Structure 1
Amino acid sequence: MEAATALMRTRYDRPDNAPVDSLLCLDTVQPSYEHSHEGMRVRHLRGFDSRTGDFPPRISDQCRLAFSAGDAALSTRGASLQDVVRVVYLVKDASKLSSCGSFASNALGDNRPATTVLVVKKFDRPEVEIELELIARIPEDALAS
């Protein structure tokens, strides 16, 4: 029963003194996907810089890299940032989110998806400042193929 509870727990509701569960760290850099018949959800998009092997210290750089990762993830499924209908921003400090506004606007272009901001106490890695979740409609031509 304890193993099932550990798997159901998210990395955001782990007590401060709890040991890090290796199963919960597998996705610290890689996004995860959920599909429905009309769309997809891409979760755990983070601003990891693969060139340096680190998360940049500024939230704006992490946001830019997270949107780039989201665009790449969507493109593998036949979609783009123009197909996003909802963006969920998970941040430790909501006051820093304003520095992401111009990049988010440029990345999304004319598309203005619904937006949710969730403030979290911490992420599983202390250097992470922001994480994105994108919900997108898959274009009909991509569904047919």
Structure 2
Amino acid sequence: MTYAIEQLNPAILPERSGAYTHGTVVTGARRTVFVSGQVPWAERGVVPPDFADQCRLTWRNVLAVLAEAGMGVANLAKVTTYLSDRAYREENGRIRHEVLGEHRPAITIIITEIYAPEWLLEIEAVAVD
């Protein structure tokens, strides 16, 4: 590995409440991949009805873009998740932790209206290697 993703968690900031880091510094990276907002579309445009399935499918789509670049979870430096409802915060965090394991990129979660009403979330990311 020729790059490093360093976590930034300044002592003056509140203790982190979840599986993320306050910031990241990337050094020695050769490439940066910007993953466009991925949504819970399966093949043929099928959208699962419940949040957990949508969240896992959306992460699958993010990871597919990373795999196309020869990257994976460990390459993620920044992830932004758009949720259609605050009620999905905890389940989103739990599933994100399932996907990321112990990897802690910088994370932003925004509660907003999503482009299509059947989509309950959208995830975009930045990865490096």
TM-score (norm 1): 0.63
Name the structure with the higher helix share.
Answer: 1
Q: Any runs of at least 4 consecutive aligned residues in structure 1 with deviations exceeding 6 A, and if so which?
A: none
Is 1:48 aligned with 2:41?
yes
- Return the alpha-carbon distance in structure 2 between the equivalents of residues 37 and 116 of structure 1: 24
> RMSD between aligned alpha carbons?
1.8
Higher RCO, Cα 8 Å, sep 6+: 2
Is 1:115 aligned with 2:107?
yes
Aligned length: 101
| Offset at residue 37 of structure 1 (A) | 6.0
User: 1:111 is paired with a residue of what secondary structure?
Assistant: coil
- Return the alpha-carbon distance in structure 2 between the equivalents of residues 77 and 119 of structure 1: 29
- Return the alpha-carbon distance in structure 1 between the equivalents of residues 106 and 41 of structure 2: 24
User: 2:43 is paired with a residue of what secondary structure?
Assistant: coil
TM-score (norm 2): 0.70
Match for 2:119 among 128, 131, 145?
Answer: 128
| Structure 1 unmatched ranges of 5 or more | 1-35, 140-145
Larger Cα Rg: Structure 1 or Structure 2? 1
Residue correspondence of structure 1 range 49-128 to structure 2 within 5 A: 49-50=42-43, 53-120=45-112, 122-128=113-119
